[in-house]
Amino acid sequence: MSDDEIERRLTRFTVMGPSQGLRRRILEAAERRGLRKDAVIGWLVAAALVLCATAGAWRSALQVEQRLNDALEDAQVTERSSVAVEMFDGEERRRIGLTYAAAIVETRAEAEGVAPW
């Protein structure tokens, strides 16, 4: 049997095609996968919003602290002695802020050639 004869015998047939249902099955599977993807994106967006809200609150707290520092800095320039007294305030947060403010007072006083307290 020659090669041509074998090929001729093969081409008297063809490989069967898919059932009608395969097309629908693939389209629906792709749609379901798309819905799952949309759901995942939804959760990610929600998580991002929560993170933004947390970050906003944190930033707001930092701004309050910054305003406190600014106020302390202004206060120490005009009322240097009172700052020294307030350094012994019992409040931890305020004490740290005042320590920082006191350092600035000392630096400025040195630059101006006056006694800091």
Partner 1 sequence: MRLYSEDALEDSPLSRLYDEWGPRLYRYALLVLGNAAAAEDAVQETFLHLTRVAGRRAPAMQPPYAIRAVRNQCFSMLRRRRLALVDTPVLEAVAPDASEEERLMIEQALRELPIEQREVVFLRTFEGCTFQEIATVCDISINTAASRYRYALANLRRLLSPSGEFR
Instruction: Tell me the window of 19-27, 59-67, 82-90, 98-106 that interacts with partner 1 (CB under 8 A).
Output: 19-27
Alpha carbons 117 and 115: distance in angstroms, whole number? 6
Instruction: Tell me the window of 32-40, 47-55, 82-90, 100-108 that interacts with partner 1 (CB under 8 A).
Output: 32-40
- By CB under 8 A, tell whether 15 contacts partner 1: yes
- By CB under 8 A, tell whether 19 contacts partner 1: yes
Instruction: Tell me the window of 9-17, 53-61, 62-70, 84-92 that interacts with partner 1 (CB under 8 A).
Output: 9-17
Cα atoms in the 13 Å half-sphere on the side-chain side of 110: 6
- How far does CA 85 lie from the centroid of its chain? 41
Alpha carbons 111 and 9: distance in angstroms, whole number? 105
Determine the Cα angle at 114 with ends 107 and 111, to 5°: 40
> Residue numbers of the site for partner 1 (CB under 8 A)?
1, 3, 6-7, 9-19, 22-23, 25-31, 33-35, 38
